[in-house]
């Protein structure tokens, strides 16, 4: 198939590269000329395991190309994927200006029958809005072309997106009732990745749009539930890891997303929870559960402040080392990352902050240019009064603790992801003061 991808951000680039890898001819379009020039040189603007190799391979085999010519992009594809950003507005609702702009561009240039696919995360009713905009532009030109608008939300986890694309839990496709042509086209496109136990689920567009928000809101709810419970565990001396394990053994609950930490971040959960809240309120319905999830997460990001003060007494003039800056491992994404809240609070309170992250340093440096950044994990520890484990990259899991202690001025550790919890007694014997999340001193 000939496919056009509008938007070369995280969703667009991963989708475009992977669709090309399935044997399709893919043209990725973007208004950002610098990004397109970068991709044409074979460089990758985002870090995602396995993506660079497939980008190189499919470009070399002429299945993948890039352009800033949007008219050319519309004319190219039989399937036109809308994969542009949908940022949150100040009020928390979803800003659809980029989606609407692509819809207008399609309507202004469409010269053949096509299937338009909403891949961006969008609120309920967006497919109808896209359909209306395209039809209005066609009417202005006094031309007629058969087109379908399909909702096909993505469920790609950053750090595992390539694998998720080829091995999805499910493929959700929303389309108009009776649109057999679009159903056949999308069914054929995803036939090779669908499985008996991981099906293509066809539904209406509104349900498909809501499935994405509802899924992310449920996962975010589980995280906030455990994080809020972890603070109660600390207060009464219980162990959140034992609580999590005991809950997870209940088959009705399961063990996934019951781990505690310092809050969720990234491009999906925070924005999607806020977007769902905004959409629910616009419909005149109660959103109190989701508002509580969002509020609990923001509070959790700040939960380390008291731990930092407990470890250091006065924060001013102390050096604090951060291990990990991305919102989770295997990505360079720092959007809504807890590290940003922690770093800003430390700076505002007069701390000297040093940090290391395997992939996110470049992005973090743009937001925090005055922080010192190490080239390897141990460099930021020199003379540090406190080490905070923020992101659980594998490189941090088994450090040389003797070297860590020797480098630090004071051997204080706050384990924001509980990856050292299993041998905290060993750390205490080595002379470290250790604090985890959701674990009382007696647990």
Which residues, in sequence order, are CB contacts of 168 under 8 Å at separation 6+?
155, 193, 198
Report d(CA 95, CA 86) in Å as an integer.
6
Report d(CA 220, CA 232) in Å as an integer.
19
| C-beta separation of 380 from 355 below 8 A | yes
- Enter the DSSP assignment of 244: H
Annotated catalytic, 83? no
Name the burial class of residue 144, with classes exposed (0-12), middle (13-18) and buried (19+) by CB atoms within 10 angstroms of its CB.
Answer: exposed
Of 429, 430, 425, nearest to 442 by C-alpha is 425
Residue 353, CA atoms < 13 Å, CB-side half-sphere: 27
Structure tokens at 319: 């050096």
Q: Where is 148: in which H helix or E strand? A: strand 147-151
Of 339, 338, 333, nearest to 353 by C-alpha is 339
Q: Sign of the C-alpha dihedral, residues 326, 330, 335, 337?
A: negative
| C-beta separation of 262 from 75 below 8 A | no
Which residues, in sequence order, are CB contacts of 53 under 8 Å at separation 6+?
none
414 bridge partner residues: 388, 435
| C-beta separation of 74 from 105 below 8 A | yes
Q: Count CB neighbours of 265 within 10 A.
A: 23
Q: Which is catalytic among the residues 18, 28, 83, 268? A: 268
Phi, psi of 117 (to 5 degrees): -115, 115
How distant, in Å, are the alpha carbons of 187, 219, 265, 365 from that of 369?
48, 33, 21, 5
Across 204-228, b (16+ Cβ under 10 Å) vs e yields: ebbebbbbbbebbbebbbbbbbbbb
Structure tokens at 171: 């493929």
User: Which residue numbers are catalytic?
Assistant: 268
């Amino acid at each position: 198939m000939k496919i056009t991808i509008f938007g070369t951000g995280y969703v667009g680039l991963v989708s475009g590269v992977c669709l090309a890898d399935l044997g399709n001819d893919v043209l990725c379009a973007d208004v950002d000329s610098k990004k397109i020039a970068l991709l044409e040189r074979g460089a990758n603007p985002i870090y995602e395991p396995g993506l660079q190799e497939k980008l190189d391979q499919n470009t070399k085999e002429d299945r993948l190309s890039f352009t800033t010519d949007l008219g050319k992009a519309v004319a190219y594809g039989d399937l036109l994927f809308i994969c542009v950003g949908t940022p949150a507005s100040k009020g928390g609702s979803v800003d659809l200006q980029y989606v609407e702009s692509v819809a207008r561009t399609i309507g202004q240039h469409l010269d053949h029958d096509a299937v338009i696919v909403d891949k961006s995360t969008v609120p309920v009713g967006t497919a109808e809005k896209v359909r209306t905009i395209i039809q209005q532009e066609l009417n202005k030109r006094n031309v007629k072309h058969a087109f379908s608008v399909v909702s096909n939300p993505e469920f790609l986890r950053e750090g595992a997106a390539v694998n998720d694309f080829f091995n999805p839990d499910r493929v959700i496709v929303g389309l108009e009732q009776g649109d057999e042509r679009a159903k056949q086209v999308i069914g054929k496109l995803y036939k090779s990745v669908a499985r008996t136990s991981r099906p293509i689920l066809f539904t209406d567009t509104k349900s498909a749009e809501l499935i994405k928000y509802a899924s992310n809101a449920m996962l975010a709810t589980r995280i906030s539930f455990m994080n809020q419970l972890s603070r109660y565990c600390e207060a009464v001396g219980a162990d959140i890891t034992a609580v999590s394990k005991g809950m997870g053994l209940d088959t009705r609950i399961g063990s996934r997303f019951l781990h505690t930490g310092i809050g969720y971040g990234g491009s999906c959960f925070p924005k999607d929870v806020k977007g769902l809240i905004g959409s629910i309120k616009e419909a005149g319905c109660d959103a109190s559960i989701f508002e509580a999830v969002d509020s609990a997460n923001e509070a959790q990001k700040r939960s380390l402040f008291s731990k930092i003060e407990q470890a250091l007494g006065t924060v001013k003039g102390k050096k604090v080392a951060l291990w990990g800056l991305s919102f989770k491992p295997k990505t360079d994404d720092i959007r809504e990352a807890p590290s940003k809240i922690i770093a800003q609070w430390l700076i505002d309170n007069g701390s000297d902050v040093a940090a290391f992250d395997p992939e996110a340093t470049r992005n973090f440096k743009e937001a925090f240019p005055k922080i010192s950044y190490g080239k390897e994990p141990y460099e930021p520890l020199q003379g540090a009064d406190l080490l905070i484990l923020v992101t659980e990259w594998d490189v941090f899991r088994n450090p040389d603790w003797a070297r860590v202690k020797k480098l630090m001025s004071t051997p204080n550790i706050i384990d924001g992801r509980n990856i050292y919890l299993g041998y905290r007694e060993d750390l205490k014997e080595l002379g470290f003061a250790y604090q985890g999340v959701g674990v009382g001193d007696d647990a």
